Structure 1
Amino acid sequence: MFERRAGRTVAPRRIARWWCAFALLLCTAGVAFAGGAKGSETIAPEGAAGRQLRPSASADRAIAVTAHPLATEAALEMLRRGGSAVDAAIAAQLVLNVVEPQSSGIGGGGFLLFFDPSTEQVHAYDGRETAPLASRADRFLDADGKPLPFFAAVDSGLSVGVPGLLRMLEAAHRAHGNLPWAELFAPAIRIAREGFAISPRLHALIARNVERIRARGETVSRLFLTAEGDPKPVGARLKNPELAATLEAIATHGADAFYHGAIARAIVTRIAQDPRPGLMTENDLAAYRSVVRQAVCATYRARFRICGMPPPSSGGVTVLQTLKLLERFDLAALSPDSPEAIHLVSEAYRLAFADRERYVADPDFVAVPVRGLLDSGYLAERAQLIDRERTLGTPVAGQPPGVTDETVWGRGETVPFPSTTHLSIIDGAGRAVALTSSIEHAFGSLLMVEGFLLNNQLTDFAFRPVDENGRPVANRVAGGKRPRSSMAPTMVFDANTGDLLAVLGSPGGSAIIHYVTQTLIGLIDWRLPLSDAIEQPHFGAQRSATTWVEAGTVLDTPEVAAALTAKGHQVRAREMASGIHAIVRTAPLRDGTPAPLANGLRGGRWLGAADSRREGVAAGF
């Protein structure tokens, strides 16, 4: 395990100095990526660029943890002006569009949880992309009825969903913002116009995708490549005046400037001109609406109430199912790095992912049995399938309460990739935001419009609309439908007092579920300080006998592999580039009792930390 670190406040003026040191370290050490082809068990394309432990940050009033130092600075700027957590989240997200263009932006979508302590309510904002209304279930099948090659679908107009991020941010701002909308855009506009230094991570991702970038034409190549067609080097200043102009228009005229008029026409035209054109129309953009849904919540170990995003994200349900399946086991008695712990947690993942594949999809199109999937009796029965000595291998989905034989869906597979970002923010009034957003694959579809990249989120749908038995797949394509996601913005509360205890989330494709779940187990069962919970070596499983362990960690040893293999696991070492950005409460609860997730850390009201596998920073005041 990593050395525990005491929290300390991070002043914004110091973030830039840390960032320079971080960049120098990575340039000196070099950048390594593991390759991977199509398949749900391949290594993800947006890999890690080295690791650098950065100090956690304690705060008495407000705190922000985002995926880039400049985004954290923007969040703190808004918080210091009296902005709400939503204001700070919007400013940070817009900056991330500029400095982390491979991961998220206004050409994509996201999910946002907002907690207001004055009402004790958790609001769940759905800004997931939608399929154009003209889409059909066979969208990703060729003339012979076979699925298209995955990357042929990704790098095409076919993959682009109607972006939802701006409508979601607009809805959250109208309900919970303090500062004027236009003010929130100022940092991103300034950075896009003046430029920023390309980080080692961004450079490495450009290099990894250089052939894709070259193939997409002059507009996107000019932004990321030199005149000679090579990746722009670390430290080169990347300016994006087109994006600055786009953000200025949206700042002045609101999200309507994106969903109507010149920007909307440019989006539709670019998609239509692709060699594999999409079906998006200006009416699709004009008709897009963000949805406010009911957060999905459940208790864990009686003491903790955990809330996440409901469908069409599978993140909330699958994290909660995994935790509830583990309640009958005394995880606290096991070492976090032990084969026994890896086995039990992986078995719970297998059962939860089997249900996820069958039942979770857009609830406006499919009756998702959320209540049944989290039913205590159902999960207790499913947990009995976990054998301490032998893996389940490839389990079948269960049949939760409310599901009949006639309503069981066919099994559908997708290949979600982790070009995603997450930020966690708490303001001076204790209001909190957990926001996870994405454009899906690294650099999305690589279709660039008005300075921003368009997503490829429609490849999160099942390519085959029916399974091998002819049953329709819940997550099949349909016009206006939202593809299933794995994004898992999460909040933890004290079940007795209602106090907010933690805010967290991560990028990572379908492995987001593993990263968030493992962090929660680290905090709750293994009583780890926040940084140690985040820095745990990762492992995971889905719906097969394959169990992943994070390459180059204490889990990647012959001894661990042998112990798991003896239980039937097929062990694979792989890069697991999480990006957990989390905040925990360190101040006593309202009843005077110690904060249960502070785990020995004292001082301040909140403590934030960022995953060393990416380039995030925590800061507060």
Structure 2
Amino acid sequence: MLRAGGTAADAAVAAVLATCVAETVYTGLGGGGFATYFDAATGAVTCLDFFVAVPGTDGDRVAGPMLAVDVFFGGVPQVYSIGGASVAVPGVPVGCGEVHRRWGRLPWADLVAPALELARTGVALPPAHARTLDACAPALAHGEGAAVYSHRGKLLQGGDLLFHPGLATAMAALAAEGPALFHTGSYAPLLVEAVRAAGGALGPRDLADYRVLETPVDRATLAGHQVRARHDLSRTVDTIAALPGDLPVLPRPARAVAVAAALRDRGRQKIGDTTNVSVVDTDGNACVITTTMGLGAAVWLPGLGVNLNSMLGEGELITDGLAPGVRMSSNMCPLVVIDDEGALAVAAGSAGASRIRTALVDTLIGVLVDGVDMPTAIARPRFHVVDDTVHAEPGYPRDELAALADAGWRINGWPELNHYFGGVTAVGVGGAAGDPRRDGVGLLL
């Protein structure tokens, strides 16, 4: 899209739609997300919310029970719920459409074309995605998903073909009819029928009334740079603002203790089936889009290869005040970093549920404080704090772990780099990179 003269928004939207084919372990057209856009000419930062909303505004249905499934993560079983009652109002198609409307310049159909081609052929499943699939199979490979994510009774492995029958039909319709296809377009009745047949409460009014929202932009200073992003459930920007001002000159062990204290995560460590795209164009504009469908509800649009989100079955997203029509909260935090001259320094986002904040903070410290390049900052070992325990990847500096232990933290060493610790993709002064934990890539054109 960039080579064709498109903007960062064009490229980001096209990439997101491609992930709805190639990364359906993490995301899809039936999910929701957020976008952050930096306009280089004006310095303006805009955050858009197209995350899922609570259904039920039609008032003519009461959702039935959800189906509980056990998913093992870090060796510990965690209960999630799927089924029609777990489906919230999706936002990915109209969210992508709004990003394109505001900041794109290529034709909409051109942005859908790569996803359509991938849907026709299928894609090789990356090994990291296969490992996620293995953990999430009770939800993803349930019901109709079994035929998609397994072959002859065996889950897909890295390198196997991931193919969604009917998804090419859905993508072709999205290209022809536009972003409103699933909300007020020809597929809206099909979506309602599928969810209600599975016991959900989603109705026509829920879809027709859904809107992409513009949200306030938080800001914090790190190493002389301004970090700007939405106010997420984990308070990423607030965490950065709470870091010690002398962080750049603290000895690394002392810094680790300070960062751990800021990142303390009270008991939330659910799986994060999320993906992120970060793009910067030649004009210096940036577009970062993070999307997810949770584990997937195992409710598929008949003949279209589209799995719907399971957000109402994600325990950590159930907050006070949820009612029909209310937008749900999320840990997702696509962000931009601006230098002291007002130019873009970093555009980044991450997957990983409650570890999104951890992964982003660690990456920004790597690039802005330690001065390492983007691939190094993203790939180096991380730690994440839950209650009084520091979960650390192999290779994390021993002297820093010792300082954390001396400060009273329990240390839990993991045997390998793991998708548990997030999935950052970023472009900036240190280059472009994707997270090896999720087979991410970075490209400089």
Is residue 86–residue 313 contact of structure 2 (8 Å, CA) maintained in 1? yes
Give the C-alpha shift of residue 253 in structure 1: 0.9
CA separation of 1:245/1:577 partners in 2, compared to 1, >3 Å: closer, same or farther? same
Q: Secondary structure in 2 aligned to 1:483?
A: coil
Q: How far apart, CA to CA, are the structure 2 residues paired with 1:149 and 1:611?
A: 28
State the partner residue of 1:305. 226
2: CA distance, partners of 1:241 / 1:231: 17
- Provide the C-alpha distance between the structure 1 equivalents of 2:97 and 2:427, rounded to a whole number of angstroms: 24
Asked whether 1:288 is paired with 2:210, we answer: yes
Contact 1:108 1:165 in 2 (8 A): yes
- In structure 1, the partner of 2:176 is 252
* SS of corresponding position for 2:350: coil
Q: Flag the 1:529–1:140 CA change in 2: closer, same or farther, 3 A.
A: farther
Structure 2 residue 99 is the aligned partner of structure 1 residue 185: no
* Alpha-carbon distance between aligned partners in 1 of 2:41 and 2:101, rounded to the nearest angstrom: 17
CA distance in 2, matches of 1:553, 1:448: 41
CA distance in 1, matches of 2:30, 2:375: 32
Q: Deviations over 1:455-508 (max 9, x none)?
A: 1122446688xxxxxxxxx6442111122211111111113x111111111111
- In structure 2, C-alpha distance between the alignment counterparts of 1:109 and 1:127, rounded to whole Å: 6
Residue 260 (structure 2) aligned to one of 346, 351, 356 = 346
Which of 173, 177, 192 is residue 268 of structure 1 equivalent to?
192
- CA distance in 2 between counterparts of 1:427 and 1:341 reads 34
1:489 aligned to which of 331, 334, 337: 334
- Cα distance in 2 for partners of 1:155, 1:135 equals 22
Mark the CA change 1:134 to 1:121 in structure 2 (over 3 Å): closer, same or farther: same
**Gaps in structure 1 of 5+ consecutive residues:** 1-77, 355-412, 465-473, 586-597, 599-606
State how far apart, in whole Å, the 2-side matches of 1:486 and 1:247 are: 28
**Deviation sequence 1:21-76 (CA, Å, 0-9, x none):** xxxxxxxxxxxxxxxxxxxxxxxxxxxxxxxxxxxxxxxxxxxxxxxxxxxxxxxx
Q: Which residue of 1 aligns with 2:407?
A: 567
Question: What's the counterpart of residue 553 of structure 1?
Answer: 395
| Other-structure match for 2:148 | 223
Greater relative contact order, per chain length (Cα 8 Å cut-off, separation 6+): 1
Is structure 2 residue 233 aligned with structure 1 residue 314? yes
1:478 aligns with 2:323: yes
Hey, what's the Cα distance between the residues in 2 that align with 1:131 and 1:478?
Answer: 6
Percent pairwise identity = 29
- Which digits, 9 at most, give the CA deviation of each residue in 1:494-547, with x for residues without a partner? 13x1111111111111100000011111222222222222122111225x2222
How big is the shift at 1:125? 0.9
Structure with bigger strand share is 2
What is the Cα deviation at residue 135 of structure 1? 10
**Secondary structure at 1:433 match in 2:** strand
Q: Deviations over 1:355-388 (max 9, x none)?
A: xxxxxxxxxxxxxxxxxxxxxxxxxxxxxxxxxx
Gaps of 5+ in 2: 71-77
Asked if the contact 2:58–2:206 (Cα under 8 Å) also holds between the matched residues in 1, the reply is no
- Contact 1:306–1:493 under 8 Å retained in 2: yes
1:278 aligns with one of 200, 218, 224? 200
Q: Secondary structure at the match of 2:376?
A: helix
1:325-356 CA-to-partner distances (Å, cap 9, x unmatched) read: 22344443322xx3x33221111123xx57xx
Question: What TM-score do you get using the length of structure 2 for normalisation?
Answer: 0.88
State yes or no: 1:615 paired with 2:433. no
Residue aligned with 1:503, SS: strand
**Which has the greater radius of gyration?**
1
Are the counterparts in 2 of residues 475 and 483 from structure 1 also a CA contact under 8 Å? no
Report the counterpart of residue 84 of structure 2 in structure 1.
Answer: 157
Per the TM alignment, residue 273 of structure 1 is displaced from its structure 2 partner at its CA by 2.7
> Once the 2 structures are TM-superposed, how far is the Cα of residue 565 of structure 1 from its aligned partner?
3.3
Written as runs of structure 1 = structure 2, the 5 A alignment for 1:114-513 is 114-134=37-57, 154-214=81-141, 216-217=142-143, 219-226=144-151, 228-274=152-198, 277-301=199-223, 303-310=224-231, 313-314=232-233, 318-335=235-252, 338=253, 340-350=254-264, 416-441=270-295, 444-449=296-301, 450-460=304-314, 475-495=320-340, 497-513=341-357
**Equivalent pair of 2:222/2:240 in contact (CA under 8 Å):** yes
Contact 1:462 1:477 in 2 (8 A): no
Q: Which amino acid in the other structure matches residue 100 of structure 1?
A: E
8 A Cα contact 2:39 2:285, kept in partner: yes
**1:509-524 to 2 correspondence within 5 Å?**
509-524=353-368
Corresponding residue number in structure 1 for 2:373: 529
Equivalent position amino acid for 1:341 in 2: R
Q: Quick one: structure 1 residues 89 and 481, their matched pair in 2 at CA, closer, same or farther if it must change by over 3 Å?
A: same
Contact 2:52 2:91 in 1 (8 A): yes
The CA deviation string for residues 424-467 of structure 1, in whole angstroms up to 9 with x for no partner, is: 101122211111111123xx222222211111122446688xxx
- Per the TM alignment, residue 134 of structure 1 is displaced from its structure 2 partner at its CA by 4.8
3-state DSSP of counterpart to 2:291: strand
Relative to structure 1, is the Cα distance of residues 422 and 566 closer, same or farther in structure 2, using a 3 angstrom cutoff?
A: same
2:439 is paired with a residue whose SS is coil
Q: CA deviation at 1:152?
A: 6.4
Q: CA deviation at 1:242?
A: 0.8
Determine if the alignment matches structure 1 residue 109 to structure 2 residue 23.
no
In structure 1, C-alpha distance between the alignment counterparts of 2:406 and 2:312, rounded to whole Å:
39
- In structure 2, C-alpha distance between the alignment counterparts of 1:286 and 1:329, rounded to whole Å: 50
SS in 2 for 1:306: strand
Post-superposition shift, 1:298? 2.4
SS of the aligned residue for 1:154 comes to strand
Tell me which amino acid in the other structure corresponds to 1:453.
N
**Preserved CA contact (<8 Å) 1:300 1:327:** no
Q: 2:126–2:158: 8 Å Cα contact kept in structure 1?
A: yes
Over 3 Å counting, the alpha-carbon distance change for 1:142 and 1:239 in structure 2 is closer
Q: What's the CA shift for 1:569?
A: 1.4
Sort the Cα spacing of 1:328 and 1:500 in 2 relative to 1 into closer, same or farther, 3 A.
closer
The number of aligned residues is 430
Equivalent residues in 2 for 1:4-19, closer than 5 Å: none
- Once the two structures are overlaid, the 10-residue window that deviates more, 481-490 or 95-104, is 481-490
Matches of 2:227 and 2:164 in 1, distance apart?
Answer: 40
Deviation string for 1:65-100 (max 9, x for gaps)?
Answer: xxxxxxxxxxxxx11110111111111111111111
CA shift, 1:266, in A, is 2.5
TM-score by length of structure 1 reads 0.64
- 1:570 Cα offset (Å): 2.4
- Alpha-carbon distance, 1:209 to partner: 3.8
| Distance across 2 between alignment mates of 1:153 and 1:283 | 27
Identify the residue that residue 75 of structure 2 maps to in structure 1.
none
Q: Match of 2:161, as an amino acid?
A: R
